[in-house]
Amino acid sequence: MTIPTFIFKNALRNQRRALLSVSSVAASLFLLVTLQVALRELTLPVESSGAELRICARNKVSLTNPLPARQRPIIEKIPGVEGVSPFTWFGGQYQNEGGMTFAQFAMDPKETRRVFTDIKLDEAALAEFVSQKNAAIIGKVSADKYKFKPGDRFKLDSTVYPGSLDFIVAGIFSGTADDRMMFFHQDYLDESIGTPGYVGMWWLKVKSAADMAPVIQAINAAFQNTSAEVRAESERNFQLGFISMLGNIKALIASISTVVVFTLVLVTASTMSMAVRERFRELAILKALGFRRRELFAFILAESFGLAAAGACLGIGAAYILYTYGNISKMTAGIFVSFEVTPRIMGLAALVAALLGIISAVAPSVSVARMSVVNGLKTLD
């Protein structure tokens, strides 16, 4: 019998315990990867192409305070601005759903291509969207979920404005960072609520990266000391600021991950201690045959490390396959568009598994090192 075979047989001596140990490691690392991926999606939102040239301008007091529509001509005259569109949150519910699973924004349809350069939309659908006042374009994710197709009619009940609005689907778009959204006419919203002259915020695009900082400064300065001061920032900073409103997500997920890892260490260390304690007589015999302490420690470490590695392969592999090839939007009811299991996250989980294998072998190895041959031989199986 070779040494690897000896280690392998010892690891599988109690197959039920080995299976439970591997399963606990796999389940814990799967949860750890899930938490880290969710944290990444929340704190590092996906950026689409062209986002680096887009600016969001909102009311400086609060995101919920509207801005006067008369600001638009002033913004359009600022050097470096290529396109400007209102961007007003509608907050509609579809078919009396308990919550809003996709966002709806009122905008200027003529600025669709100019501001959202990443959007993929058929030209005929865009023309229909521009020409028909009650037309709307819907992201592919939401269209697939609700089985929308061009020409369909539907109604949304707003949680922000009184009443509801009827829409007709002009087209289905894709290619944006969030293909769940819906866009419709700002004019249609103004006419329906009867109070035109205000928008939620401004979404604009600059000509080049060099124009970003000057345009942001110019917008902020243009409306300084007015009744509706503006805070302009890049699309990226706006997303991060919006996410920060959810609270300290990092601390919450970090604390949960710590508890998961700590519990896993206790479970695996206890399992290895029981497994080694049952083999004290065998280890005493190995000592009597001339095996040194470091060699016995290597046997225990290899067994512990092997079980942790098997669990890591199952847990990390399952997370990668599920989140790479599964429909995350459907599994999370539209909360997340996608999950990306990055090499960094997989490396972190693998590192935790490696440390787990080492830490779990420490206590049993100390016990074996202190054990004398005579006392070990007296141990009952």
Please write the tens of the pLDDT for every residue from 48-69: 556 788 999 999 998 889 999 9
Residue 51 has a pLDDT of: 74
Q: What pLDDT band is residue 103 in, cutting at 50, 70 and 90?
A: confident
Angle between helical axes of 293-325 and 249-277 (0-180°, round to 10): 140
% pLDDT > 70, the chain: 77
Those residues whose C-beta lies under 8 Å from the C-beta of residue 342, and which sit 6 or more positions away, are 37, 40
- C-alpha to C-alpha distances, 67 to 58, 73, 198, 227, nearest whole angstrom: 7, 13, 5, 9
Assess whether pLDDT exceeds 90 at residue 134.
Answer: yes
- C-alpha to C-alpha distances, 260 to 138, 277, 309, 358, nearest whole angstrom: 40, 26, 17, 17
Locus of tokens 């949860």: 31
Distance CA 328, CA 326 (A): 6
C-beta of residue 25 within 8 angstroms of C-beta of residue 311: yes
Residue 282 has a pLDDT of: 64
User: Lowest mean pLDDT: which of 88-102, 112-126, 151-165, 349-363?
Assistant: 88-102
Residue 141 has a pLDDT of: 85
C-beta of residue 108 within 8 angstroms of C-beta of residue 186: yes
What is the torsional sign of CA 47, 48, 49, 54? negative
Please write the tens of the pLDDT for every residue from 212-234: 999 999 999 999 999 899 999 98
Domain residue ranges of the chain, discontinuous segments joined by +: 3-45+248-378, 61-228
Q: What pLDDT band is residue 362 in, cutting at 50, 70 and 90?
A: confident
One-letter identity of residue 25: V
First to last CA, the chain: 22
C-beta of residue 246 within 8 angstroms of C-beta of residue 41: no
What is the torsional sign of CA 33, 36, 39, 40? negative
Q: Using alpha carbons, select from 195, 138, 146 the residue that is nearest to residue 170.
A: 138
Distance CA 30, CA 281 (A): 37
Distance CA 39, CA 57 (A): 27
Q: What pLDDT band is residue 256 in, cutting at 50, 70 and 90?
A: confident
Residue 291 has a pLDDT of: 63
Residue 242 has a pLDDT of: 65
Assess whether pLDDT exceeds 80 at residue 120.
Answer: yes
**What does DSSP assign to residue 106?**
E
Those residues whose C-beta lies under 8 Å from the C-beta of residue 104, and which sit 6 or more positions away, are 89, 90, 91, 92, 136, 156, 181, 182, 183, 184
Give the H/E segment covering residue 267. Answer: helix 249-277
Distance CA 143, CA 179 (A): 9
Those residues whose C-beta lies under 8 Å from the C-beta of residue 38, and which sit 6 or more positions away, are 253, 336, 339
Helix/strand/coil for 237:
helix
Angle between helical axes of 15-43 and 235-244 (0-180°, round to 10): 120
**What does DSSP assign to residue 108?**
-
Distance CA 277, CA 104 (A): 63
Assess whether pLDDT exceeds 80 at residue 341.
Answer: yes
Distance CA 115, CA 202 (A): 11
Identify the residue with better confidence: 64 or 288. Answer: 64
Ordered DSSP codes for 73-91: HHHHTSTTEEEEEE-EE--
β-sheet bridge partners, residue 59: 230
